[in-house]
Amino acid sequence: MSQAATTEQPVGTPEPVLSVGDLAISYTSRGRRTAAVQGVAFSVGPGETVALVGESGSGKTTTAHAIVGLLPGSAHRDAGAIVLGETDIAGWSQRRLATIRGRHVGFVPQDPGVALNPVQRIGVQVAEPLRIHGLAGRAEADARALEILAQAGLDDPEAVALRYPHELSGGQRQRVLIGIALACDPQLIIADEPTSALDVTVQKVVLDHLQERTREAGASVLLITHDLGVAADRADRIIVMQGGRIVEEGPAARVLEAPEHEYTRRLVAAAPSLQSRRLSATPGTRLPEALSDAVVLELAGIARRYVSRAGGRTREVVAAHDVNLSVRAGRTTALVGASGSGKTTVARIASRLVEPDAGRVLLGGRDITTATGADLRELRRGLQLVYQDPFGSLDPRMRILDTVAAPLRAYRVGDRASRARTAAGLLERVQLPADLHRRLPAELSGGQRQRVAIARALALNPKVLILDEPVSALDVSVQEQLLQLLTDLQAELGLGYLFITHDLAVVRQIADEVAVMNRGEVVEAGTVADLFEHPHDPYTVELLAAIPGRGIASSAATG
Amino acid sequence: MIRFLFRRAAQGAFVLWAAFTASFVLLFLLPSDPVLTMLGADGQGANVDPVEVAALRTEYGFDQPVWLQYLSRLGAALRGDFGHSMSTGAPVTTEIAAALPATGLLALIAVCLAVVIAAGIAIAATSTSHGWLRRFLLALPPLGVAIPTFWLALVLLQIFSFRLGLLPAFGAEGWTSLVLPAITLALPVSASMAQVFASSLDATWGSPFVQTARAKGARRPRLLTRHVLRNAISPALTVAGVTLGAVLAGSVVTESVYGRPGLGRLAEQAVAAQDIPVVQGIVVLAAAIFVIANLGVDVLQARIDPRLLSGGAR
């Protein structure tokens, strides 16, 4: 876990807890066989934390699932040994593997939001592994469950034990899941992207907790992550996977500071970290002659409350309180905050999808707060949205070209042929090849879909784009390409961006000004450089401290 | 929970009122004259004593304006009085009460049978590791949905009563006479339940929390009973509530084919004889059964899934 352990525990410790040898796994779908993992070999020593790093499709999750036999029915292990302690469990039946799972290998799943049984009380779910492996009777298991919940750092374990998963926050749920994984004192914990679904600040707390608890228990950890920063902070050794193969392996510090493989170098360079600079437009980008930096979007004194009626009680939530914000042409204002901070509400108010209780929204100097009907419709042309989830924001049955042309159709711009030409031009602008025009969203990658969403947002020549977490769902290398695209488009078209994100690292790459929101209020605002170098508000300081991968910052900067 | 029940009960009351009103509008505004029909002389006005006709009109209130008829009937219905049968003269409530037990028993057995068949097929199909068995079992429900009730009833009669002589073909004597009608009613209903339940089970097996439970070391039987079933049952319950209507509708055909007394039979005869009060009573009763069944389903679902009571968060 610690930096010291790296030197004490050289690669290939005599008796590893887990050693995987020459593992090959393929998936069969519609009679076609695709190799997912090939020739993967590595080991995890006692008390060691090993990070398996890679982007989607690298085979890291398949490898992790294969170890405990959690692969879906379409997957097949073609070759390889999986030695746990001294036993090769590679050929074991599901029935036999069940005796290992939970008992000798604990598993922390990816998304705590859906990883707990929604209709079963927390206490029962925590006690379950003890009951399954016959380590405790009913009463004893219940008592142990309370201890586990207490160790998980949850206040009032008795009350938590009686709750249902939906009554806990994401961070609390992940603590419960870590407690479940550790319930039977396993020698090995496999954590499959344990914090990708959580906010940065929560991510830090949960990872600290995982580190602390596994160290106490003396368990080894195999940490699956796409985030090189997380790997750098938490792992003794890093294994980098690409296309189903291991491309590089070594002590964490060495891999990050002196990556040997070309792919690792690219990953390190793409990792958003404290040292990333504001991206500049790609050389050769056509710049408009006169660049004005007039304020194009302004929010003044925005306030909004929500009243929720849950279980007969009325609760008032302040989603926004006296929020002031401005976006300049050709510039990016970032709005940063954790989930529930109110940043999405502000974005919705800015786009007039939600009515503010107080305050004004000015678009290009015009007060649009009270615009309705045809006026509002006309004003909306100047302000377009790009959402976080490129899977949900595109019509799954509409072809790409039609999707991009849809706003033109809605505003009756030109005729059919000219709309198709404009849409094709937009797709070219976001660097999507013409052979994708007739495709459906399901046939595109996440990054390509987000490009389509951007092209669609540009169709009506807006002045302002509201980008709601546009890159959070994407792999780092794709994320970097997309941020570069946004930067180029901004320079070319003089667009103002309101960039909503929970990730401060991204802010540094794309934004000029930044506002930090917490519980509905802007706690700090200013230029990006000021905020990063002299944060004033304790919440900003906390956010900055939570960015993973501070260790790799210096090496990335020189790269 | 109380608030939830109250809201659902209010919705139920509205459905009952709507059923009453719709049946009133449809039945009382029919072009034919119920009094003439009653005298068995529809279309042959010459043979009927006009005095008698007028007396009957007054007795049933047909001489009043429509809206007054509606209000007085609604008022009476609220007190549990649906008037008298025009064929037998007995109170509608008595007629229905006499027919209800036979149909109630039949429907109960049919629903239980349907649930058992549906659960059996769905669980077996989603649990088996043999692809062919799964495909075979999942092919059954669409077939079951496609089969018309009357055809199924006739085929069952042919085989079990006439060919094999195992079960009685007609009547309502003893338990054996219930077997064929119950199967006839249950099969189509179980088919739609099985379809929904099987796809819900499949989806639940693939959900992340089932993987969490597998990672704890749980084996398939435990996964099924502790984790999958309770999460998968909700859609099947909804269908079960709705299919109760199908059971009632099916009882009309089933009871006619098997010559059993009951609500379905009563409805069929009442419609044929244009016995308006009886038809209306049955419509309102059917609506009431529907409302109560769905209220029961809602309460059950709230018991199963705690998220439903907390304002639907997540």
* Residue A227 reports pLDDT greater than 90: no
pLDDT in tens, A182-212: 999 999 999 998 887 777 778 888 899 999 9
* Residue in B with minimal Cα distance to A65: B215
> How far is Cα B302 from Cα B286, in angstroms, rounded to an integer?
24
* Residue B19 reports pLDDT greater than 60: yes
The domain ranges of chain A are: 1-95+203-270, 105-185, 295-382+462-558
What count of Cα atoms within 13 Å lies in the side-chain half-sphere of residue A195?
25
Other beta carbons within 10 Å of B284: 20
Place of tokens 């009756």: A412
Superfamily of domain A295-382+462-558: P-loop containing nucleotide triphosphate hydrolases (3.40.50.300)
Phi, psi of B81, rounded to the nearest 5 degrees: -110, 110
Q: Which of residues 283-312 of A touch B (CB under 8 A)?
A: 308-312
* Residue A159 reports pLDDT greater than 80: yes
pLDDT computed for residue B225 by the predictor: 92
Enter the pTM of the model. 0.79
pLDDT in tens, B170-180: 776 777 788 88
| Choice among A148-152, A419-423, A548-552 with the minimum mean pLDDT | A548-552
Structure tokens at A153: 């750092």
pLDDT computed for residue A291 by the predictor: 63
CA dihedral A374→A378→A383→A384, nearest 10 degrees, is 80
pLDDT computed for residue A357 by the predictor: 92
Average pLDDT over residues B69-87: 83
pLDDT in tens, A11-29: 544 589 999 999 999 998 7
The shortest C-alpha distance from B145 to chain A (Å) reads 29
Confidence of residue A269 (pLDDT cuts 50, 70, 90): confident
Instruction: Look at A115 and B231 and tell me if their CB atoms are within 8 Å.
Output: no
* Residue in A with minimal Cα distance to B208: A115
- Of the spans A56-60, A124-128, A309-313, A442-446, which averages the highest pLDDT? A124-128
Q: β-strands A366-367, A358-363: how paired?
A: antiparallel
> How high does pLDDT run on average in chain A?
87
Instruction: Look at A128 and B207 and tell me if their CB atoms are within 8 Å.
Output: no
Q: Which of residues 208-227 of B touch A (CB under 8 A)?
A: 208-209, 211-220, 222, 226-227
Q: Enumerate the β-bridge partners of residue A527.
A: A513
Structure tokens at A448: 């390509």
pLDDT computed for residue A451 by the predictor: 93
By the CB < 8 Å criterion, does A31 face chain B?
A: no
Instruction: Look at A115 and B211 and tell me if their CB atoms are within 8 Å.
Output: yes
pLDDT computed for residue A160 by the predictor: 92
Instruction: Look at A128 and B216 and tell me if their CB atoms are within 8 Å.
Output: yes
Of A99, A109, A177, the CB nearest to B217: A99
Q: Which of residues 81-100 of A touch B (CB under 8 A)?
A: 94-95, 98-100
* Residue in B with minimal Cα distance to A107: B215
Helix axes of B229-258 and B92-127: crossing angle, nearest 10 degrees: 130
Confidence of residue A556 (pLDDT cuts 50, 70, 90): very low
Whether the domain at A1-95+203-270 and the domain at A295-382+462-558 fall into the same CATH topology: yes
* Residue A105 reports pLDDT greater than 90: yes
Instruction: Look at B217 and A107 and tell me if their CB atoms are within 8 Å.
Output: no
Instruction: Look at B209 and A118 and tell me if their CB atoms are within 8 Å.
Output: yes
Name every chain B residue with its beta carbon within 8 A of the beta carbon of A132. 216-218, 222
Of B3, B218, B231, the CB nearest to A312: B3
Average pLDDT over residues A102-123: 92
pLDDT computed for residue A283 by the predictor: 75
By the CB < 8 Å criterion, does B207 face chain A?
A: yes
pLDDT computed for residue A335 by the predictor: 94
> How far is Cα A438 from Cα A424, in angstroms, rounded to an integer?
11
- Of the spans A248-252, A473-477, B149-153, which averages the highest pLDDT? A248-252
> How far is Cα A401 from Cα B42, in angstroms, rounded to an integer?
67
Closest of A175, A203, A197, A227 to residue A111, by C-alpha: A197
Of B214, B220, B306, the CB nearest to A119: B306
Instruction: Look at B304 and A308 and tell me if their CB atoms are within 8 Å.
Output: no
| Choice among A94-98, A308-312, A327-331, A544-548 with the minimum mean pLDDT | A308-312
For chain A, how are helix, strand and coil distributed in percent, rounded to 5? 40, 25, 35
* Residue B239 reports pLDDT greater than 90: no
Of A94, A99, A119, the CB nearest to B230: A119
pLDDT in tens, A394-427: 898 899 999 999 999 999 988 999 999 999 999 9
pLDDT computed for residue A289 by the predictor: 57
pLDDT computed for residue B157 by the predictor: 85
* Residue B292 reports pLDDT greater than 90: no
Instruction: Look at A129 and B207 and tell me if their CB atoms are within 8 Å.
Output: no
| Choice among A267-271, A408-412, B30-34, B140-144 with the minimum mean pLDDT | B30-34
pLDDT exceeding 70 applies to what percent of chain B? 90
Average pLDDT over residues A97-111: 93
Average pLDDT over residues A273-280: 66
* Residue in A with minimal Cα distance to B305: A119
By the CB < 8 Å criterion, does A70 face chain B?
A: yes
pLDDT computed for residue B40 by the predictor: 61
* Residue B309 reports pLDDT greater than 50: yes
> How far is Cα B140 from Cα A100, in angstroms, rounded to an integer?
38
The shortest C-alpha distance from A330 to chain B (Å) reads 38
pLDDT computed for residue A555 by the predictor: 45
Instruction: Look at B309 and A102 and tell me if their CB atoms are within 8 Å.
Output: no
Name every chain A residue with its beta carbon within 8 A of the beta carbon of B213. 117, 128
Average pLDDT over residues A476-490: 89
Structure tokens at A145: 């469950």
Instruction: Look at B209 and A132 and tell me if their CB atoms are within 8 Å.
Output: no
Q: Which domains, from first to last, does chain B contain?
A: 34-81 (no CATH), 92-310 (1.10.3720.10)
The shortest C-alpha distance from A512 to chain B (Å) reads 35
Q: Which of residues 156-195 of A touch B (CB under 8 A)?
A: 164, 166-167, 177, 180-181
| 3-class secondary-structure state, position A282 | coil
Is-contact B226 B213, C-beta < 8 A?
yes
A338 to A199, A272, A317: CA distances (angstroms): 6, 18, 15
* Residue in B with minimal Cα distance to A179: B216
pLDDT computed for residue A9 by the predictor: 46
* Residue B273 reports pLDDT greater than 60: yes
| 3-class secondary-structure state, position B274 | coil
Place of tokens 């794309």: A510
* Residue in B with minimal Cα distance to A64: B215
Name every chain A residue with its beta carbon within 8 A of the beta carbon of B301. none
Give which of B216, B219, B220 to mutate to test A binding, by max A Cβ within 10 Å: B216
By the CB < 8 Å criterion, does B79 face chain A?
A: no
Instruction: Look at A309 and B226 and tell me if their CB atoms are within 8 Å.
Output: no
The shortest C-alpha distance from B189 to chain A (Å) reads 27
Confidence of residue A315 (pLDDT cuts 50, 70, 90): confident
Of A101, A110, A114, the CB nearest to B207: A114
CATH number corresponding to A1-95+203-270: 3.40.50.300
Name every chain B residue with its beta carbon within 8 A of the beta carbon of A119. 230-231, 304-306
* Residue B43 reports pLDDT greater than 70: no
> How far is Cα A33 from Cα B56, in angstroms, rounded to an integer?
81
Which residues in B128-143 are b (16+ Cβ under 10 Å) and which e? eeeeeebeebbebbee
Instruction: Look at A132 and B207 and tell me if their CB atoms are within 8 Å.
Output: no
pLDDT in tens, A134-146: 999 999 999 999 9
> How far is Cα B190 from Cα B119, in angstroms, rounded to an integer?
9
CA gyration radius for chain B? 24
Q: Which of residues 248-307 of B touch A (CB under 8 A)?
A: 304-307
The shortest C-alpha distance from B229 to chain A (Å) reads 11
* Residue A553 reports pLDDT greater than 70: no
pLDDT computed for residue A425 by the predictor: 93
Instruction: Look at B212 and A102 and tell me if their CB atoms are within 8 Å.
Output: no
Q: β-strands A220-225, A188-192: how paired?
A: parallel
**Which strand (E) or helix (H) includes residue B3?**
helix B2-28
pLDDT in tens, B44-74: 545 667 777 777 777 767 777 778 888 888 8
Instruction: Look at A310 and B215 and tell me if their CB atoms are within 8 Å.
Output: no
Looking at per-residue pLDDT, the higher value among B5 and A233 belongs to: A233
* Residue B25 reports pLDDT greater than 50: yes
Of A180, A308, A312, the CB nearest to B216: A180
Structure tokens at A416: 């059919």
Residue A246, amino acid: I
By the CB < 8 Å criterion, does A101 face chain B?
A: yes
> How high does pLDDT run on average in chain B?
83
pLDDT exceeding 90 applies to what percent of chain A? 50
pLDDT in tens, A367-395: 888 888 888 888 888 999 998 877 788 89
Closest of B221, B239, B275, B216 to residue B96, by C-alpha: B275
